[in-house]
Amino acid sequence: MSRWLRMWALPALVTLAGCGKDDDGGDPTPPSKALEGTWRTEGHGYSVRFEKDTVTFYEVTEVSCLPSISGTLEDGVLPGIGLTFKADGDRMLIQSAGTVHIAATRAPLPEVCSRTLPPDDPVSNFEVFWHTFAEQYALFDLYGVDWKARYAQFRPRVPAATTDDALFALLSEMLVPLPDAHTYLVAGERTFEPKPRPAWAEHYLEELTTYVDTHYRGGPGVTVVGGGRLAWKSLNERVGYIYIGGMAGFPGEMSDEGTEMAAAGRAIDEALEALGDKEALIVDVRFNLGGYDAVSLAIASRFTEAKQLAFTKKARAGAGFTPPREHHFSPAGPRQYTRPVYLLTSQVTVSAAEIFTMAMSALPHITVLGERTNGAHSDALSRTLPNGWKVSLSHEVYTAPDGQVYERIGLPPDVELDMDVPSLVAGTDRILQEALQRAMTGG
């Protein structure tokens, strides 16, 4: 993880993500002997083996098969991750309490799983790296990248004697034309991220961290809940302010989706209990680096009176994609706030924070102010190379309720305003001032 992300205290989250439809029909058999054997997921690149109560995921490409997640089921649930498995004949569904929804069919382990790759062989690591992107990355067309041409260009530069330093540099160079925030390479303490950070986030990192800590999630009149992820205060008799600093960590530590959703629900319910009678609210996700989509929808559900489409997504599957799956959010919690809400965004509103923005933007009483969001919507698919290096990539395409794909370009605000960070760290928050002015005048 980069120093930039560490400073904002939100670990990168890797989730298994969904495909299909909201309602699949029928009631699949709960986990039992019906699960025993081996399955292949539709998209996502996993083989899954069940032996009694033990489940093991394998990360599979055309040239590799590496063990990944493994654990013992407890009442049909994989602890710590919160995945459930339901079988119906030769079909299986992998789900979570939130947005994970993966279909699988019975299939033996691929023949490649009978082979062992030498972990320190640079050629093997290059091949697994290239095939991982070739088979799972969803955004080549968006970035105009010919991945086969990248193979032809870079493979001759990887002889058997290639050092780790040279291999890391070469793989990093291959990622340069894929600048999305969910794509990166990690080798021990080294990380390469092709997505450039906003200049203001880089130059004012320390000052911003201090300002956020003392003005938004701390300071006079501020109440902090949800493991520090959510804070609120009254700006005046008519307007309240809610800061949401992440879409994970609400229980006080990283947890599974179900636990996170419940804790986030309690946090936003506390805020709305305190501020729910205000004429308008300002909700600030300008410094939110994401987390779980399911947490985003749990919070958004406190701002709608009816079921609402949040987004549609599909995952890479072979040469194409899985069937698109719609994700909705519905009213939840003891009260829903449907008076005017002014949602603040920036270039570092990223990932699940963008999904929150996408969902909220579909509601008629929401006005978005600030900068375009980061433009990284796909879940981050994590893979491990034979040598233990980690790679993350975007393997899905999200479509907003308006039918548009905002990956790479980010979600546009209704009122575009620059962050003006020099003024912000000097004590003048121009975006917040504009939002407050509109809240007071009904603009």
**Residues 358-393: tens digit of each pLDDT:** 999 999 999 999 999 999 999 999 999 999 999 999
**Residues 160-219: tens digit of each pLDDT:** 999 999 999 999 999 999 999 999 999 999 999 999 888 888 888 889 989 999 999 888
CATH number for the region 199-373+413-441 comes to 3.90.226.10
Handedness of CA 28, 33, 39, 41 (dihedral sign): positive
Q: How far is CA 421 from CA 2, 198, 212, 290, 412, in A?
A: 21, 11, 12, 21, 19
Residues 6+ apart with CB under 8 A from 30: 76, 86
Q: Where are the alpha helices (DSSP H) in 342-417?
A: 352-361
d(CA 48, CA 105): 10
- Mean of all residue pLDDT scores within the chain: 91
- Look at strands 366-370 and 341-345 and give their pairing: parallel
Consecutive H or E run containing 422: helix 421-425
Handedness of CA 24, 27, 30, 33 (dihedral sign): negative
| Residue (of 243, 406, 246) closest to 311 by Cα position | 406
**Residues 318-373: tens digit of each pLDDT:** 999 999 999 999 999 999 999 999 999 999 999 999 999 999 999 999 999 999 99
The reply to whether 3-114 and 199-373+413-441 are identical in fold is no
Specify whether the CB–CB gap between 131 and 62 falls below 8 A. yes
d(CA 257, CA 80): 9
Q: Which residues pair with 281 in a beta bridge?
A: 240, 341
d(CA 377, CA 363): 19
Which structure tokens are listed for 295? Answer: 């947490």
DSSP count for the chain of H helices, then E strands: 12, 23
**Residues 246-286: tens digit of each pLDDT:** 999 999 988 889 999 999 999 999 999 999 999 999 999 99
**Residues 101-139: tens digit of each pLDDT:** 899 999 999 999 999 999 999 999 999 999 999 999 999
Please give the full DSSP string across 259-287, using - where no structure is assigned.
Answer: HHHHHHHHHHHHHHHHHTTSSEEEEE-TT
Domain definitions of the chain by residue range: 3-114, 122-192, 199-373+413-441
Specify whether the CB–CB gap between 77 and 91 falls below 8 A. no
Q: How many CB atoms lie within 10 A of CB 441?
A: 7
Q: What are phi and psi of 98, to 5 degrees?
A: -110, -115
Which structure tokens are listed for 89? Answer: 């004949």
CATH number for the region 3-114 comes to 2.40.128.50
